[in-house]
Structure 1
């Protein structure tokens, strides 16, 4: 079983052919109206020849003037002149357009020009119990904002591919930097996992290859869009848990990570969003929400973690309210390795 979202990213050649097709609409008359002349028509679409990347970009921009309702379903592929028939990576036109417009970001994903940084997570006694792994540029000359990289990857149909690479990068980094027994919090996008039994194989194969203990891992649900099918997310949680991996719900109290979603999923770890933590020691409304989350999580045995802690007063309120774990600049910024004062004696 394979899917295009997990396949390799084929480079777009400087010279080649652009093919387009539509499942329901004949494009020939529309192209005549735009003044775009195809080189030829074939069984699987209309073919254009281009001789440079700029010419391809200009051609794609011209095709983007077609009616929006047509573009939603139009498919496209760019292939080299010496392409061997048999495999063509057909994409939605909008996905190919995003790959062409953001060639620099595509090269970062294709070359895996990123690494994982580590931010400490502490318990109520300020002992380091684990680290969250966060995607960062691996080369200063190829900078990017992680959120923007994932945003463009989603537009290009590559967010599943990038999400998988980021998980593997984090697992490998944790194997190189941390001893057994330290928790490793790793993000994942549930919308990228179409079939939990298959799509998570790469994750478990990496853990097995490195002879690591699955009980050291906590996988965090990170999602910027509403989760439409909770059954799929339940299946993902079950797949992780049957392999000994814990699960966490990120950003609770903000966006789509509501307390209702938390109570439905009952994660092992509940991470309260930084918007509720910042300044909570002097804000009664934030305090009520934090206390409510702690009380709800206690009913199903979830450990609560405060994110984005920058003031000791906020940490002290959270600790008194029953929040058992914390993370933020107060304890350490994301770094390429564990802090210099990290020693086994500090781990509980």
Structure 2
């Protein structure tokens, strides 16, 4: 079962039939612009011949101050989920989908893959990988942050978050042996009901005969924590299924010390802005030491992100951050490095 927020979608057709719901106040304006809406039940249906015509329609469906009504929804005949159920979309999201149709097509068609970046322990052995979204072809390039920003604007962030998690799980099944940790990002705002929304994640792990204890799901670095209770319930659901959780970017942005202490994640990832140059910066050193001390109070394992300088690594390791990640140990790549030693059975 998949809810309407993350169900599979199909691309927007260049021409076809559209339906409007809640647009009664604009119908005469629409007719004045040579559209021919017909009332069918409570909805208005009309033909469109190009995406340019849709853009013209969006210009009509505006209040006098130029704002787009949020109570109008639109359905295009070709836009159905893979169960052939119609998809009704709020007007602002539909306009954003048309504006960013190239990026939307990448999201809907899932033209992305997962690369992996090594995570090492205190003796520099690879003990895990973080899985990061990357383009699957040079013909459809994108920046991951841009992809997620547009996904939010177009109402596709739950769909993208789900697809990215499944991509990471499948990639890990192909390349990573049992006993190696797999760190995978997630968007808290995409998970409305953890018991329901995470079912496909647990099913994918079981489908590939993977060990849940090898997985660590972390709050994605661009995601702000607005509802602490929701995060706690998500963490609880992961842990009930044998999966660990991590808090990313601690020490910068939203990941404050107080939130870390309340959430008590299994892994604490210190933000790269603190780690970079920490061996020469007393203020950064004090912040890092405080994070490590507080994490140790509840048993959280500490990982220093963005390690590029060996002296920074030495400082973090000496003071209790026994895991590390960064270009010093390897860049994200589609396969593990040649030096990666698979553990024997």
Same fold (TM over 0.5): yes
Name the CA distance, whole Å, in 1 between partners of 2:78 and 2:162.
Answer: 27
Instruction: Specify every segment of 5 or more residues in structure 1 that has no aligned partner in the other structure, as ranges.
Output: none
Q: Establish whether residue 330 from structure 1 lines up as the match of residue 335 from structure 2.
A: no
CA deviation digits over 1:52-71, x for unaligned, max 9? 22222332244356656661
**Partner residue in 2 for 1:134:** 132
CA deviation digits over 1:185-220, x for unaligned, max 9? 000011100110111011110110111100000000
Name the CA distance, whole Å, in 1 between partners of 2:306 and 2:34.
Answer: 53
Contact 1:136–1:146 (Cα < 8 Å) also in 2: yes
Name the CA distance, whole Å, in 1 between partners of 2:323 and 2:307.
Answer: 11
Counterparts of 1:46-125 in structure 2 under 5 Å? 46-64=44-62, 67=65, 71-80=69-78, 87-125=85-123
Deviation at 1:13, TM superposition (A): 2.1
Contact 1:224–1:256 (Cα < 8 Å) also in 2: no
Deviation at 1:42, TM superposition (A): 3.6
Name the CA distance, whole Å, in 2 between partners of 1:223 and 1:71.
Answer: 32
RMSD of equivalent CA atoms = 2.2
Instruction: Specify every segment of 5 or more residues in structure 2 that has no aligned partner in the other structure, as ranges.
Output: none
Counterparts of 1:228-267 in structure 2 under 5 Å? 228-267=226-265
Deviation at 1:88, TM superposition (A): 2.6
Alpha-carbon distance change, 2 to 302 in structure 1, aligned in 2, over 3 angstroms: same
Name the CA distance, whole Å, in 1 between partners of 2:197 and 2:218.
Answer: 16
Deviation at 1:155, TM superposition (A): 1.0
Name the CA distance, whole Å, in 2 between partners of 1:335 and 1:70.
Answer: 42
CA deviation digits over 1:252-278, x for unaligned, max 9? 111111111100100000001101011
Q: Establish whether residue 195 from structure 1 lines up as the match of residue 193 from structure 2.
A: yes
Q: Establish whether residue 212 from structure 1 lines up as the match of residue 210 from structure 2.
A: yes
**Partner residue in 2 for 1:14:** 14
Alpha-carbon distance change, 62 to 178 in structure 1, aligned in 2, over 3 angstroms: same
- With the length of structure 1 as denominator, give the TM-score of the two structures: 0.91
Contact 2:29–2:60 (Cα < 8 Å) also in 1: no
Deviation at 1:223, TM superposition (A): 5.1
Q: Establish whether residue 27 from structure 1 lines up as the match of residue 40 from structure 2.
A: no
Partner of residue 148 from structure 2, selected from 150, 161, 170: 150
Alpha-carbon distance change, 87 to 68 in structure 1, aligned in 2, over 3 angstroms: farther
Secondary structure (helix, strand or coil) at the match of 1:181 reads coil
Shifted more, 54-63 versus 107-116: the winner is 54-63
Contact 2:11–2:109 (Cα < 8 Å) also in 1: no
Secondary structure (helix, strand or coil) at the match of 1:4 reads coil
Name the CA distance, whole Å, in 1 between partners of 2:190 and 2:98.
Answer: 22
Name the CA distance, whole Å, in 2 between partners of 1:226 and 1:6.
Answer: 20
Contact 2:188–2:223 (Cα < 8 Å) also in 1: no
Name the CA distance, whole Å, in 2 between partners of 1:201 and 1:225.
Answer: 21
Contact 1:71–1:93 (Cα < 8 Å) also in 2: yes
Secondary structure (helix, strand or coil) at the match of 1:89 reads coil
Alpha-carbon distance change, 139 to 65 in structure 1, aligned in 2, over 3 angstroms: farther
Name the CA distance, whole Å, in 1 between partners of 2:60 and 2:148.
Answer: 26
Secondary structure (helix, strand or coil) at the match of 1:330 reads coil
CA deviation digits over 1:205-242, x for unaligned, max 9? 01101111000000001153432221111111111101
Contact 2:19–2:46 (Cα < 8 Å) also in 1: yes
Name the CA distance, whole Å, in 2 between partners of 1:70 and 1:178.
Answer: 48
Contact 2:248–2:268 (Cα < 8 Å) also in 1: yes
Contact 1:76–1:91 (Cα < 8 Å) also in 2: yes
Name the CA distance, whole Å, in 1 between partners of 2:164 and 2:149.
Answer: 14
Deviation at 1:87, TM superposition (A): 4.0
Count of aligned pairs: 340
**Partner residue in 1 for 2:304:** 306
Name the CA distance, whole Å, in 2 between partners of 1:315 and 1:291.
Answer: 13
